Structures are given as C-alpha cells and as structure tokens.
Amino acid sequence: MRTATKGIRHRVAAIAMALGLASSAAVLGLPGAVHAQPLLKASVGYYPGALISLPVLIAHDRKIFEHDGLAVRLVPISTGPAMTSAVASDSVTFVNNSWDNLLVAVEHGLPIRGVIGSTVKVPFALIARKGMPLPHLAQGYPGVIKDLVGKKWGVLALGVSLQYMDEKLLTDAGYKANSVTYVAVGLPNTAFPALQRGIVDTYLSIEPLPSIVEAKHEGTVVVNLAENQGPAAFHDLGYNGWWASTSTIRNHPEVVARFVKAMEDSYCWYRNPANLGAVVSIMQHYAKVPALTPAEYKTMVQRLIPTFGLKITRHTIDTWSQLLYSQGQLHAPGKRSAVVIRTGAEHFACSR
C-alpha cells in the first residue's frame, strides 16, 4: 500500500509539472508543497503606481500566486471607496483597504471581512512645507506640534480618517483638534503642489512624498508615524489589510486559503534582505518615482519594507474602532471578531 501511494504521488506531481501547474520552489525560494490541482481563479484589486501595493505586486511578479495555486488577475482601483464597492459587489475577489473603512462598512451592513493584514505600522508622515519656521523641530513629537498650531493642515478630504489622525496628533500634544484649519487638497499628487505654493502648511502622506520632499529639500518630515513617532496609540498599529466578501469566504474557502498563503510567501520573500535588490527592481517597474535617484528609491523601499506585515491584532482593530467611535463615525465600538475572519492571524513569523 505504501509503495502504491508513493507511486500515485509521483504520477500526480509529474502530471502537474506537465501541465505547467507548478512553479519552481527553488527558483522562488519558497517553502512548502506546490498545488497539484488546477489553479483557482481570483481577481485582486491594487492601487496603480502605489508603493502600498507592494505585497501583491511582488506575489504577481514572482509568480507566487501560481506557486500557491491561484490564477490571479490584477485589477487597478484608484481609491478606498472604490475598493470597498468592488469587493462588496463581488466584482473583485480581494481588495486592499484600511481597517477604519472596514469597521464603518461592516457596521453599515456590507458583506465583507478582513482575511489577512498588509501593514503593521501606520505608513504616514506629517510633512511641513518648505520654508516654514520650525523652531521646535529638534524636540520631535509632541514639541514640534507647537510650530504647526494655527496653521493650514492639508487633508485628503474633510471628515476622513486622515483628518482624525491629524486631530489625534494635536490632542495628544495638548492642543484642541480645531486649533488648526483643515483644507481638502486631495491625494499626494495634488497635495504636493499645494504645499509648494503655500496653500497648506502641512500634509499627512504615504510614500513616496515624504522621501521626495526630503531628498529634494522641498519640505520637512516633522512626525513619521511609520517610525513610531507621534501618539502612543499609533505605535505599531496596523493600517490596512486584505478583504474578501462573505460569499467568497463562505463558498470559496480554498481560494481564500491560497490567497493568504501567497501573501505569507510574498512577505517572507520581500522581507529577506538578500532579495532587496530584486524588490527594488520590481517596484521601480510598477511604481516609478522619477523625482528620486536609484539610490534614493532603494533607501525609500528599504525603509518602507518594515511597515508591512500580516497580523491583524486586537490592538489595531480596537484603536481604529475607538478613534472612529470618538469621532461619531461608529454608533458603537466594533469588535475584531465582527470584521475579521476566524482564521485571520494575530501573529505570524516566517519559518526560515
């Protein structure tokens, strides 16, 4: 019986290789068995040209999805609300979106849940415009906030989570949330000109804008939340993750399991220092930043990689829940069990 079983396994493996269903684990540097069964189809939303989409872009470029049994179609989606709509309607299988958006969506009855994390730190930095006096900069947070009180703070839009993060920066430093003027300036591509022209004095942004302003001396990073500067509540706080619809989770559990495995394998590959050069090359292909030299781009990616991670902690969900509740965006604090699938990991470590 053992000999027969062994023979069957060999024939299945041979068939899988003949059909091209197995990627080379040795080439990918990935552990674990390759799926012998046909690839399952899935679509994955990503932010085009955005560094925050690094995990899925790595998984796609390195054929990690195929290695873990998925035939993935990448779908460019520009905004968080569009991500929510796409996954809730089942037009896209998985999307990447922030935990605050998930909490609000679930409270409003949308059939979506988080399946795995994407970041373990808040990947934002507060930028002050070029030429703005910052006599308390050397003090760091909270001292430097004194220089920003009474100024014009740029936000993506009024009443969104980034404004609430700004308000937390102010209140934790001992100032009132309304001690500044909030000005809607949109995404970084429109916020940067607003900073340059003095339309706003500060802006809370993800990469690459913080690296650009520092490299080109077009502004100053005054608080880097990704480096655990700022309010203690934001320290080691996950910001976003990967979602699926409840129908996908219920009816296609193997698709979810394979996607989670692909994200794990992607994470373990791009976190390996030996792969930094390859990671940089892949991201330069998908997310070009002409304003940065190759060396500056590499520094940015190297600094960005530690902000990614797979765990979804209770601290993360509870913190965003309390922030939204205090702002009146939730009728009651949400619970992790209500917005994250049961198998969603609170801890994860690469096996090698």
Given a cut of 80, whether residue 150 has pLDDT beyond it is yes
Mean pLDDT score of the chain: 90
3-class SS letters over 245-275: EHHHHHHCHHHHHHHHHHHHHHHHHHCCHHH
Over residues 33-80, the pLDDT tens digits come to: 455 679 999 999 999 999 999 999 999 999 999 999 999 999 999 999
Please name each of the domains of the chain with its CATH number.
2-121+237-339 (3.40.190.10), 125-234 (3.40.190.10)
Given a cut of 80, whether residue 12 has pLDDT beyond it is no
SS3 250: helix
Instruction: Tell me what pLDDT residue 351 has.
Output: 82
Cα 248 to Cα 132: distance, rounded to the nearest angstrom: 50
Given a cut of 90, whether residue 27 has pLDDT beyond it is no
Instruction: Tell me what pLDDT residue 13 has.
Output: 34
Over residues 325-338, the pLDDT tens digits come to: 998 999 999 999 99
Radius of gyration, CA atoms only, the chain: 22
Instruction: Tell me what pLDDT residue 20 has.
Output: 35
Instruction: Tell me what pLDDT residue 331 has.
Output: 94
14-28, 220-234, 293-307: least confident range: 14-28
Given a cut of 60, whether residue 113 has pLDDT beyond it is yes
Over residues 127-148, the pLDDT tens digits come to: 999 999 999 999 999 999 999 9
Token pair in block for residue 226: 């990704």
